[in-house]
Amino acid sequence: MQKNLNARMDNRFATALVIACVLSLISTIYMAASIGTDFWYEYRSPAPENFSDLNKIRDDFVDSDPDEKTYNDLLFRYNGTVGLWRRCITVPNKSTPWYSSPEKTESSDLITECFSFTLSEQFMEKYVEPGNHNTGIDLLRTYLWRCQFLLPFVSLGLMCFGALIGLCACACRSLYPTIATGVLHFLAGLCTLGSVSCYVAGIELLHQKLQLPENVKGEFGWSFCLACVSAPLQFMAAALFIWAARTNRKEYTLMKAYRMA
């Protein structure tokens, strides 16, 4: 009877750990994909009549000393997308006939050009009036931008460290260290949630200062949605890890006391 009870307990803990590991793996994949893609926010605008100033557009967009207002205006006008690392706009391909005779182009002639934010740009100050250095630093937007960039990496690092502790727990044949794995996943979930919140707040504040042009719509993209889904998966994995470790420890203590009695 005691052996059957132990077997049922082991099966219950094993099931919880397997589910937690699957949730952890899925959330890690979602978070990594979210960090590495450029669709946190997308703008939808009508196709411009012509692109006669294409060279100037490209120069402004990839400027080594970026002006926040300038590149955001280009994002608004040219179906831009923004990620944590890069910003992209949709422009005609240089090899198409329009290049020598600028006219309205077909969608098949358009390509997406992206430019990466450098590390210094990620930590660059935001100004009260975007693009105007004389209006003073907007500390709220500055730190929201920095947090939305840093927190996803912290989240990913915490989950990887938690996985390492989990492997050590398996090697030691003990469930108790998985409490640390659960705590790290919980902290990772908080970081992911914080990153998503900072991003939403930053976008809303930016649009209050730079109004979207008429006929231009903005929406959160699938990269942002992956981060949103990743957070609850991390919390669920954390709950299962902690529950399995604590319950196993408690029942082990009760069983040991029963045997001594």
The CATH number of residue 207's host domain is 1.20.140.150
Segment 63-67 mean pLDDT: 63
pLDDT at 64: 53
Residue 121 placed within a domain: yes
Question: Which range marks the domain in which residue 120 is found?
Answer: 1-256
How many structural domains are present in the chain? 1
Residue 261 placed within a domain: no
Residue 19 placed within a domain: yes
pLDDT in tens, 132-156: 778 888 899 999 999 999 999 999 9
Q: pLDDT-derived band of residue 166, with 50, 70 and 90 as boundaries? A: confident
3-state per-residue secondary structure call for the chain: CHHHHHHHHHHHHHHHHHHHHHHHHHHHHHHHHHHHCCCCEEEECCCCCCCCCHHHHHHHHCCCCCCHHHHHHHHHHCCCEECCCEEEEEEECCCCHHHCCCCCCCHHHEEEEEEECCHHHHCCCCECCCCCHHHCECHHHHHHHHHHHHHHHHHHHHHHHHHHHHHHHHHHCCCCCHHHHHHHHHHHHHHHHHHHHHHHHHHHHHHHHCCCCCCCEEEECHHHHHHHHHHHHHHHHHHHHHHHHHHHHHHHHHHHHHHHC
pLDDT at 101: 40
Residue 54 pLDDT more than 70?
A: no
Residue 43 placed within a domain: yes
Segment 189-208 mean pLDDT: 94
Residue 34 placed within a domain: yes
Residue 12 placed within a domain: yes
Residue 162 placed within a domain: yes
